[in-house]
Structure 1
Amino acid sequence: MTEVLLALTGTALSDDVARCGAAAGYRSVQADPLRCRPQWLRAGAVVVDGAALEQLVASRLPAREGVLVVGARESDADTWRRGLAVGAQGGFVLPAEEARLVAALSSLRRPHRAAAPVLCVVGGHGGVGTSTFAAVLAETASRQAPGVLLLDVEPGGAGLDLLLGMEATSGLRWNDITGETGSIAGPALAAALPRIGDRLRVVTRSRDDGAPLSPETVLAVLDAARTNGETVIADLGRAVDPAAQGVLDSADLVVVLTAASVPGVAATRKLLTRLALGGEPVRSELGLVVRGPAPGGLTAEQVADAVGVRLVTTLRTRRALARRCEEGGVRPPAHSPEVRSARVVLELLDPRRGVIG
Structure 2
Amino acid sequence: MPPRTSVTPTPRRPLVVTADEDLLDDLLRLAAAGGTEVDVAADPAAARARWLPAPLVLVGSDQAHSCLRARLPRRPRLVLVGRTGELDPGWEVAELVGAEHVATLPAAEPWLVDRLAESAPGQPTGAARMVAVLGGRGGAGASVLAGGLAVTAARARQRTLLVDADPLGGGLDLVLGWEQLEGLRWPALSDADGRVDPPALVGALPSRGDLVVLSWDRGELLNLPAPAMAAALDAARRGRDFVVVDLPRQFDDAAVIALQAADQAYLVVPAELRATAAAARVVAVAAPHCAHLSVIVRGPAPGRLKAAEIARVLGLPLAGTLRPEPALCRGLERGEAPAAAGRGPLAVLCQRLVTEVTGRPATGAA
Aligned pair in 2 of structure 1 residues 245, 51: CA closer, same or farther (>3 Å)?
Answer: farther
| Counterpart-to-counterpart distance in 1, 2:147 and 2:185 | 17
| Counterpart-to-counterpart distance in 1, 2:144 and 2:101 | 42
Residue 181 of structure 1 and its aligned partner are, at CA, apart by 4.3
Corresponding residue for residue 207 of structure 1: 218
Candidates 26, 29, 33, aligned match of 2:39: 29
Candidates 89, 100, 118, aligned match of 2:130: 118
**Is residue 134–residue 234 contact of structure 1 (8 Å, CA) maintained in 2?**
yes
Corresponding residue for residue 291 of structure 2: 284
Candidates 132, 137, 142, aligned match of 1:130: 142
- What's the TM-score, normalizing by structure 2? 0.78
Aligned pair in 2 of structure 1 residues 243, 108: CA closer, same or farther (>3 Å)?
Answer: closer
Residue 15 of structure 1 and its aligned partner are, at CA, apart by 5.6
| Counterpart-to-counterpart distance in 2, 1:51 and 1:284 | 32
Secondary structure of the corresponding residue to residue 305 of structure 2: coil
The Cα RMSD (Å) is 3.4
Q: Map 1:101-180 onto structure 2 (within 5 A).
A: 101=109, 105=113, 109=117, 113-115=124-126, 116-144=128-156, 146-180=158-192
Residue 51 of structure 1 and its aligned partner are, at CA, apart by 5.2
Secondary structure of the corresponding residue to residue 287 of structure 1: strand
Aligned pair in 2 of structure 1 residues 37, 321: CA closer, same or farther (>3 Å)?
Answer: farther
Aligned pair in 2 of structure 1 residues 344, 11: CA closer, same or farther (>3 Å)?
Answer: farther
Q: Which runs of structure 1 show a deviation greater than 6 angstroms over 4 or more consecutive aligned residues?
A: none
Residue 163 of structure 1 and its aligned partner are, at CA, apart by 1.6
Corresponding residue for residue 343 of structure 1: 351
**Residues 81-100 of structure 1, C-alpha deviations (whole Å, 9 max, x = no match):** 555853446333xxxx6x98
| Counterpart-to-counterpart distance in 2, 1:253 and 1:220 | 20
Answer yes or no: is 1:325 the counterpart of 2:328. no
Residue 133 of structure 1 and its aligned partner are, at CA, apart by 0.7
Aligned pair in 2 of structure 1 residues 17, 221: CA closer, same or farther (>3 Å)?
Answer: closer
Q: Partner letter of residue 9 of structure 1?
A: V
Candidates 308, 324, 337, aligned match of 1:301: 308
**Residues 285-343 of structure 1, C-alpha deviations (whole Å, 9 max, x = no match):** 21111112322222212111111222111112211100110122224222432122123
| Counterpart-to-counterpart distance in 1, 2:64 and 2:264 | 27
**Is residue 163–residue 245 contact of structure 2 (8 Å, CA) maintained in 1?**
yes
| Counterpart-to-counterpart distance in 1, 2:82 and 2:219 | 49
Candidates 234, 246, 261, aligned match of 1:235: 246
| Counterpart-to-counterpart distance in 2, 1:327 and 1:291 | 22
**Is residue 15–residue 50 contact of structure 2 (8 Å, CA) maintained in 1?**
no
Candidates 202, 226, 234, aligned match of 1:190: 202
| Counterpart-to-counterpart distance in 1, 2:193 and 2:52 | 19
| Counterpart-to-counterpart distance in 2, 1:30 and 1:104 | 16
Aligned pair in 2 of structure 1 residues 47, 114: CA closer, same or farther (>3 Å)?
Answer: same
Answer yes or no: is 1:75 the counterpart of 2:83. no
The aligned length equals 337
**Is residue 48–residue 68 contact of structure 1 (8 Å, CA) maintained in 2?**
yes
| Counterpart-to-counterpart distance in 2, 1:107 and 1:208 | 40
- By relative contact order (CA 8 Å, sep 6+), the higher-ranking structure is 2
Corresponding residue for residue 8 of structure 1: 16
| Counterpart-to-counterpart distance in 1, 2:137 and 2:329 | 18
Residue 28 of structure 1 and its aligned partner are, at CA, apart by 3.6
The percentage of aligned residue pairs carrying the same residue is 30
Residue 202 of structure 1 and its aligned partner are, at CA, apart by 1.1
Corresponding residue for residue 265 of structure 1: 276
| Counterpart-to-counterpart distance in 2, 1:107 and 1:222 | 19
**Is residue 22–residue 28 contact of structure 1 (8 Å, CA) maintained in 2?**
no
Residue 194 of structure 1 and its aligned partner are, at CA, apart by 1.0
Which sits farther off after the overlay, 99-108 or 295-304?
Answer: 99-108
**Is residue 159–residue 240 contact of structure 2 (8 Å, CA) maintained in 1?**
yes
Q: Partner letter of residue 153 of structure 1?
A: A
**Is residue 122–residue 235 contact of structure 1 (8 Å, CA) maintained in 2?**
yes
| Counterpart-to-counterpart distance in 1, 2:13 and 2:217 | 41
| Counterpart-to-counterpart distance in 2, 1:308 and 1:214 | 31
Q: Partner letter of residue 213 of structure 2?
A: V
**Residues 171-202 of structure 1, C-alpha deviations (whole Å, 9 max, x = no match):** 11222334244343221221121112x21111
Secondary structure of the corresponding residue to residue 114 of structure 1: helix
| Counterpart-to-counterpart distance in 1, 2:314 and 2:353 | 18
Residue 125 of structure 1 and its aligned partner are, at CA, apart by 0.3
- What's the TM-score, normalizing by structure 1? 0.80
